Structure 1
């Protein structure tokens, strides 16, 4: 059976963080229930697409899925099981933010079938958490983490953020050390991105030190944070398998690996994206419109009406995605898999680019794989553009 992944978007949160541009926001219980009713209808409406496929991973993201009750999470996953064939060892991840769900009910979340938790910590420093606009403290995070372990969860990711306003190298190192001593199974460590339209984006658009706000770390400090992330996590036995992700043996995130390898996926809920048979689309972003369409139309009609930005992916675009997604992983891009997929050798498509990047020490070829060197990882965004420029030049 063909492999398939599912993403389910929960667009609710207690309060919008100052850096967040995700499709999410506060909502009352009646609004949540209406949305979940529509969400389950959408899941059930695409059963035909799942024929001949086996779901290897389900990711409940947001927003804040843990704002829902275990019963509500269970209802979503029940619809998934009724509609799709799940692999016996399917990875089912739920994002969990401290300060939302009642940690005492952690065991109830796991009983629904959730077997992996991704806990959004960001920082172990309460002052930095306040700057970010997070609703929890380090102590509340610890309670959540301990309850998850007590409930029997043996696959936990912790999200961390660097380059936070007011953050120093020492405070970031303390966060890393605190986290590593807890021995999570997986750590995702990202640098803050100033997104347009967010409070952070507005405050820091013109200056790294706007009046009334703590300054952003300078470029040298941010670079040191990046280096210390690798060094400290490696010292505690975490393997870096993707540019921003580290894991203990056997605990790599299968859902994310599938995304980087372009495994087909279906997204459910407002704003969710899908990739199916080299066709890409996303759902409408207006939650009220999404709910109304499922109320007012038959499933087949509503399923069609919620989709937008539909496009067929050309062979060249698929080749580009294979490279700029595949090179994010430490194992890189498989030359034989590329040839099997596209019916031509990598040299026929990217020979010139690879020769230049190899000569400059940014890319290495070994054992039938092409991957970034340490130098290449440091400027990965620049390296990725090499696999896009050629087509633009031809135009």
Structure 2
């Protein structure tokens, strides 16, 4: 029986860098697109053969904005993957997009090659707020993109949203959720704004052009949970909400410590006990592939202790938490024994809840999730 495998494909190009974004992506690199995809397809062709052992169950094409490049490049990548991997005919294949970067023709092309899940970046509803964070679209263009996707036949659509933005009020956030839910997407990702070093918003915050209101941020978060639950979306991870049975299977792979291979610039992998990542300099990435050199810049074999810690802090991102029976199955021990001191302290301080062999974050734990996760990394 073939083991499950997932693939992540990184497309680093976008029309304009958003003011909050620190992802490995570039604008104004159109001249590099063709040569990058030649290198990417060569990397896929050179990946060690897994056909006899693994079946690809999910593929996620991220970036950047993958739909910014011509759809012919995406088609070729999918074809190359199918030639080199055993891909489940029912595999979840996702692609990230932004409003205005794909039309009816490209949407049909994606669907015909087997892409069956679309993730659209909206972030917020108000056009003035969108402009303030460097988005290239209006909410009207978002609605048009969404309607086009539905017309083409996409039935599994995620919408990305961000709360805690500069000058965003609770009424702005309420309106965003109301308008988006009217469209009835199958999935919503609601992220709290993170000020990443080097971004435009980070520099604006440093110069006191705006400040983060932590109390308002938490108000928005808990409003999201209540409103979306009442609208038919259940929260299955800290930032993710889905209609019944419409969770993102690819993201669950990360949170459940399952194997995946990352392909493309800076892509990360967890495969056969190793964590490794690809070259992050695009010129070096292309040069190394053209010359047959390794593109792996970091490779580490995880110890059993590493895997145990990752099982816990990744799994605790899920709202239902983690189960000791699955931990025992993987490690032949109980996390109640392996982390007795840490668990007892976190329970005492009301960060986590124990119920019948299950460990999950409390409401307080949701607010201090990173603190909880770090508790399992400290000896």
The equivalences for 1:58-77 within 5 A come to 58-77=59-78
Instruction: Identify the residue that residue 157 of structure 2 maps to in structure 1.
Output: 156
Mapped to 2, the partners of 1:197 and 1:70 lie a distance apart of 31
* 1:155–1:251 contact (8 Å) kept in structure 2: yes
Instruction: Identify the residue that residue 332 of structure 1 maps to in structure 2.
Output: 321
Mapped to 1, the partners of 2:250 and 2:369 lie a distance apart of 22
Report how far residue 47 of structure 1 moved.
Answer: 3.8
Instruction: Identify the residue that residue 295 of structure 2 maps to in structure 1.
Output: 306
Structure 1 residues 88 and 104 mapped into 2: Cα distance closer, same or farther (>3 Å)? closer
Secondary structure of 2:376's match?
helix
Q: 1:280-299 CA distances to partner (integer Å, 9 max, x unpaired)?
A: 111011111111222233xx
Mapped to 2, the partners of 1:143 and 1:117 lie a distance apart of 14
* 1:128–1:166 contact (8 Å) kept in structure 2: yes
* 1:4–1:264 contact (8 Å) kept in structure 2: yes
Instruction: Identify the residue that residue 226 of structure 1 maps to in structure 2.
Output: 221
Q: 1:164-220 CA distances to partner (integer Å, 9 max, x unpaired)?
A: 11111111110011011110000000011101111111121353xx2xxxx345222
Mapped to 2, the partners of 1:50 and 1:169 lie a distance apart of 50
Between 350-359 and 222-231, the greater mean CA deviation after superposition: 350-359
Mapped to 1, the partners of 2:3 and 2:187 lie a distance apart of 27
1:269 has 2:267 as partner: no
* 1:168–1:217 contact (8 Å) kept in structure 2: no
Instruction: Identify the residue that residue 106 of structure 1 maps to in structure 2.
Output: 107
The equivalences for 1:127-276 within 5 A come to 127-205=128-206, 207=208, 210=209, 215-276=210-271
Instruction: Identify the residue that residue 48 of structure 1 maps to in structure 2.
Output: 49
Between 216-225 and 140-149, the greater mean CA deviation after superposition: 216-225
Q: 1:20-61 CA distances to partner (integer Å, 9 max, x unpaired)?
A: 111111245441111111101111111424530011100000
Structure 1 residues 82 and 265 mapped into 2: Cα distance closer, same or farther (>3 Å)? same
Report how far residue 358 of structure 1 moved.
Answer: 2.2
Query: Structure 2-normalised TM-score?
Result: 0.96
Aligned residue pair count: 378
* 2:75–2:109 contact (8 Å) kept in structure 1: no
Mapped to 2, the partners of 1:27 and 1:171 lie a distance apart of 32
1:383 has 2:372 as partner: yes
Secondary structure of 1:48's match?
coil
The equivalences for 1:21-40 within 5 A come to 21-40=22-41
* 2:118–2:156 contact (8 Å) kept in structure 1: yes
* 1:14–1:26 contact (8 Å) kept in structure 2: yes
Report how far residue 362 of structure 1 moved.
Answer: 2.3
* 1:166–1:216 contact (8 Å) kept in structure 2: no
Instruction: Identify the residue that residue 363 of structure 1 maps to in structure 2.
Output: 352
Between 74-83 and 365-374, the greater mean CA deviation after superposition: 365-374
Report how far residue 360 of structure 1 moved.
Answer: 3.0
1:315 has 2:304 as partner: yes
Unaligned runs of 5+ in 1: none
* 2:13–2:29 contact (8 Å) kept in structure 1: no
RMSD, aligned CA? 1.4
Query: Structure 1-normalised TM-score?
Result: 0.93
* 1:47–1:84 contact (8 Å) kept in structure 2: no
Match of 1:294 among 281, 289, 293: 289
Q: After the TM superposition, list the runs of 4 or more consecutive aligned residues in structure 1 that deviate by more than 3 angstroms.
A: 27-30
1:5 has 2:9 as partner: no
Unaligned runs of 5+ in 2: none
Secondary structure of 1:108's match?
helix
Instruction: Identify the residue that residue 120 of structure 1 maps to in structure 2.
Output: 121
Between 4-13 and 375-384, the greater mean CA deviation after superposition: 375-384
Q: 1:76-120 CA distances to partner (integer Å, 9 max, x unpaired)?
A: 000111111111211000001112222453222211110000100
Mapped to 2, the partners of 1:374 and 1:47 lie a distance apart of 44
Report how far residue 323 of structure 1 moved.
Answer: 0.9
* 1:10–1:64 contact (8 Å) kept in structure 2: yes
Report how far residue 378 of structure 1 moved.
Answer: 2.1
Match of 2:275 among 271, 277, 280: 280
Between 286-295 and 351-360, the greater mean CA deviation after superposition: 351-360
* 1:9–1:270 contact (8 Å) kept in structure 2: yes
